[in-house]
Amino acid sequence: MRYIRPLSIEDAVGQLAGSAGTAAILAGGSDLLVRMKGGFAEPELIVDIKAIDGLSEIRETAEGFSIGAAVPCAVLGENTALRKAWPGVVEAAKLIGSKQVQGRCTIVGNLCNASPAADGVPGLLILDAEVELRSVAATRHLPLQDFILGNRRTALLPGEMVTAIRVPKPSGTSAFVKLGARRYLVISIAMVAARLVVQDGLVRQAAVAAGSCSVVAKRLAGVEAALHGLP
């Protein structure tokens, strides 16, 4: 097993492209290290991305927000602009593991884990979030709904890594709720995120997504249509 700590995205994807065996990205390590300890993962190469400039930042742009792949979940709640724009994303991040885990785990890692019960997914689906992927050959942007393919299955190609999540500018307000066997430190039985745009007292736009109810979290088009026009 080899461990590297690149200082640039170019170096990281170059190492991934040149790896002869299984490679794994290390950001928070809250999933990877547990799987390695349990014997469920044995990567030939571990690429620690925490030292890469820009990947630990939340950047506000004209289009919205860019959340770097190494941003811990706890940091999302500390960003005033993001918390005001999309409270549902922050609410979901606060329910991923314990306070200690939130200081390490990343929202990008939560997506790449591709668990049906990943708390971060529904809140980003309703925002039409995009995943930014980098390789030696190209940079591409993929809608989140097309990125997660199944349980622990994503659209990542060999030699590719996720560098950021791109979230558009605010439109309406959002919220997130989950049901579990207890209120804290629990895998979700079901969870729902919703975003509503209300004008003149009526719902003009609705986005609703549910997780833990199917192999992948999904937008609920029927519910969205039913909400349209309601007071």
pLDDT at 186 over 90: no
For residues 86-91, give the mean pLDDT: 91
- The predicted pLDDT at position 95 comes to 85
Residue whose structure tokens are 């709720």: 177
Query: Across residues 120-136, what is the average pLDDT?
Result: 97
CA–CA separation, 226 vs 222, rounded Å? 6
Can you tell me the mean pLDDT for 118-127?
A: 96
pLDDT of the residue at 22: 92
What's the Cα-to-Cα distance from 29 to each of 71, 109, 196, rounded to whole Å?
A: 12, 8, 34
pLDDT grade, residue 52 (50/70/90)?
Answer: very high
Is residue 182's pLDDT more than 90? no
Predicted pLDDT at 35? 94
The answer, yes or no, to whether residue 181 has pLDDT greater than 90, is: no
Burial class of 3 by CB neighbour count within 10 A (0 to 12, 13 to 18, 19+): exposed
Whether the pLDDT of residue 184 is over 80: the answer is: no
Q: List, in order of start, the domains of the chain with CATH numbers.
A: 59-227 (3.30.465.10)
- Rounded to the nearest 5°, which phi and psi values hold at 18? -90, 0
Across 30-44, 93-107, 115-129, least confident range: 93-107
The greatest distance separating any two alpha carbons of the chain, rounded to the nearest whole angstrom, comes to 60
In one letter, which amino acid is 49?
Answer: I
Query: Quick one: pLDDT at residue 71?
Result: 97
pLDDT at site 139: 98
Question: In this model, does residue 94 exceed pLDDT 90?
Answer: no
Query: What's the pLDDT tens digit per position in 168-177?
Result: 998 999 999 9
Judged against a pLDDT cut of 80, whether residue 69 lies above it is answered with: yes
pLDDT higher than 90, residue 77: no
What integer best gives the mean pLDDT of the chain?
94
Rg of the chain over Cα atoms, rounded to whole angstroms, equals 18
Residue with tokens 């547990």: 34
**Residues present in the chain in total:** 231
pTM of the model: 0.93
Q: How many CA atoms lie within 13 A of 122 on its CB side?
A: 34
Calculate mean pLDDT across residues 159-181.
93
d(CA 121, CA 52) in angstroms, rounded, equals: 24
